Amino acid sequence: MKEKISITAISSISPLGESLEESWNSYQNEDHFLREEDFNNEKTWVGRLKSSSIKNIEELRESDVKYKKLDNSVIYALFASRNAVRMAGWNHGTYRKDNFGINIGSSRGATELFEKYHTEFLEKKKTASLASPTTTLGNIASWVAHDLQTEGPAFSHSITCSTALHAMLNGIAWLKSGMANKFLVGGSEAPLTAFTIAQMKALKIYSKEKSRYPSMALNLKKTQNTMVLGEAASMACLEMGVGEKSLAVIVGVGYATEPLKHNVSISADAECFQQSMKMALGDMAPSEIDVIVMHAPGTIKGDQTEFNAVKKVFGEEVPFLTTNKWKVGHTFGASGMLSIEMAVLMLSYQKVIKVPYLEYDAIPKSINKVMVNAVGFGGNAVSILLSRSGD
C-alpha cells in the first residue's frame, strides 16, 4: 500500500477484558477463559464476558430507555465503540468536528432477540412491534452512529467469520477514495444462545474436550474438532497518515474468495488464504513477516488447511504462528478484530503471545511486521499486514 493508514485506537470487550492493558495482562498466563454452561441440557464450553464486563454492559443498557430492547450484539458494539473513539480523541456529539464513517459487521447479528421473538410467534402467532427493527443486521452500525452522533456513512454487513476484517477493508477503501478521513471499523458477536450452539454442534465441529484446554486451536495433532464459541465486540479507529497516536500502520491488505466445493469448507491448501496472503505481502519478501495471527478455528480441517496455505506461501521460513481462540473461543464476526488487537499488542510490547500447548522452534527477537488472517464459511479470506508505527 502506497498510502499509509494508521490504527489510532483499538478497543474491545471480550473474555479478556475491556482495555488494552487488561487484554495484555490476560495474555500473560497459560490459562484459558472458557467455562462450561448448560445449553439444551448439555454441558457446553463457551467464552463468556467477565462478570464485571456484564455489569458494565447492563449499566449501559439501562442508561437509555431506547437501549433496553436492543440485542447484546448491539450493546457490545456501543460499549467498544465509545471506548475506541474516546481513545482516538475523535470529536463527536453536539459540537462534532469529526463526521467519521462507521462499518461494523456481525456474522449472526441479533440472534438472541431473533430467537426470542420467533419463539413468541410460534406460541402466540403474533409478535412485538420491535421485532423487525431490533433484529435487522444493519441496526448495529446505525445504533452506534446514533450513540456517537456522527453524520458520516454507517453500514453493517455479514461475511461470516471474516466480517470484521472485511469492515477494515471497507474502511481503508473509503479513506483511500478521499470520501472520508476517519473510519470506525469492527465486529460484534453475541452467539451464546441455545439455537446457535445447536447449529455448531450439528456440524460436528464443537468441542467435547476434557483436557486442560477445551479448544486446541492450531494444534495440528488433534484427533477431534475443538471449536468453542465466544462473545465479543472489537473496534478500531482508522486514519490516513502516521502520527503520534498511531498504534500500528496498515502496510498491506489481501482478500480472496475461492469457488465453493462444499457449503462450509475450503480447499485442502486454502487457496483463498494463499491468494490473500500473497496480495497482502505485495513486493515484500515473506521473510520480513515476524508473526502470523492465524484464523485457526480449532477444527481439524480448518486449522490444517490454513497451515498448508502458510507453508505454500512462506516455504520453510514459516513465521511465528499464534492464535487467541484457545483462550477466548471463536467470536465469529468479531474474531478478526480481536486478532488485530492481539497483533497491535505484540507490536507495542515487542513480545510474542504463545499458544501454551505448542512447541516453538524459534521466537522472534523483535516484532516489526505481523500478518492477521480471517476466513468465513465458503472461503472468504482476508489478510491484513501491520507494522510498527515507527517503521
> Are residues 267 and 236 part of one domain?
no
Long-range contacts of 197-203 (CB under 8 A, 24+ apart): 197/39, 197/40, 197/44, 197/46, 197/229, 198/39, 198/40, 200/227, 200/229, 203/264
What is the rounded distance in angstroms from the CA atom of residue 344 to the CA atom of residue 325? Answer: 17
Per-run averaged pLDDT (10 residues), the chain, 391 residues: 90 98 97 97 97 98 97 98 96 67 96 95 94 92 94 93 98 95 97 97 96 97 98 98 95 90 68 96 97 97 96 96 98 98 98 98 96 90 92 67
Q: What is the largest CA-CA distance in the chain?
A: 63
Given the C-alpha cell 500502520, which residue does it identify?
Answer: 249
Distance (Å, whole) CA 206 – CA 37: 14
Q: Last residue of some domain: 205, 223, 240?
A: 240
Q: Are the CB atoms for 350 and 320 separated by under 8 Å?
A: no
Question: What local confidence, expressed as pLDDT, does residue 97 receive?
Answer: 64
Which among 210, 157, 161 has a CA at the least distance from the CA of 185?
157
d(CA 182, CA 180): 6
Distance of alpha carbon 339 from alpha carbon 252, whole angstroms: 16
Q: Which of 320, 109, 90 is nearest to 195 (CA)?
A: 109
Q: Which of 209, 240, 271 is the last residue of a domain?
A: 240
The CATH number linked to 324 is: 3.40.47.10
Host domain of residue 338:
248-387
Do 26 and 114 lie in one domain? The reply is yes
- 96 and 133 assigned to the same domain: yes
Residue type, 212: R
Please check whether residues 305 and 190 belong to one and the same domain. no
Residues 193 and 335 both lie in one domain: no
Report residue 359 as a C-alpha cell. Answer: 512447541
Q: Which of 240, 261, 290 is the last residue of a domain?
A: 240
Element (H, E) at 73: helix 72-88
Q: Please check whether residues 96 and 221 belong to one and the same domain.
A: yes
Position 99 scores a pLDDT of 82
Where does residue 269 rank: exposed (0-12), middle (13-18), buried (19+ CB within 10 A)? middle
Considering its fold, how many domains does the chain have in total? 2
Question: Do residues 296 and 217 both lie within one domain?
Answer: no
Task: Looking at the structure, tell me whether residues 287 and 203 fall in a common domain.
Answer: no
- Is there a single domain that holds both residue 378 and residue 263? yes
> Closest Cα partner for 107 from 245, 264, 299?
264
Residues 253 and 137 in one domain: no
Q: Give the per-residue pLDDT at 137.
A: 85
157, 204: one domain = yes
Residue 111 one-letter amino acid: T
* Secondary structure class of 269 (helix, strand, coil): coil
Question: What are the strands, taking DSSP E only, across 95-213?
Answer: 101-105, 154-155, 182-189
Identity of the residue numbered 40? N
The torsion angles phi and psi of 349, rounded to 5 degrees, stand at -90, -10
Predicted confidence at residue 336, as pLDDT, reads 98
**Helix (H/G/I), strand (E/B), else coil: 369:** strand
221 and 277 inside one domain: no
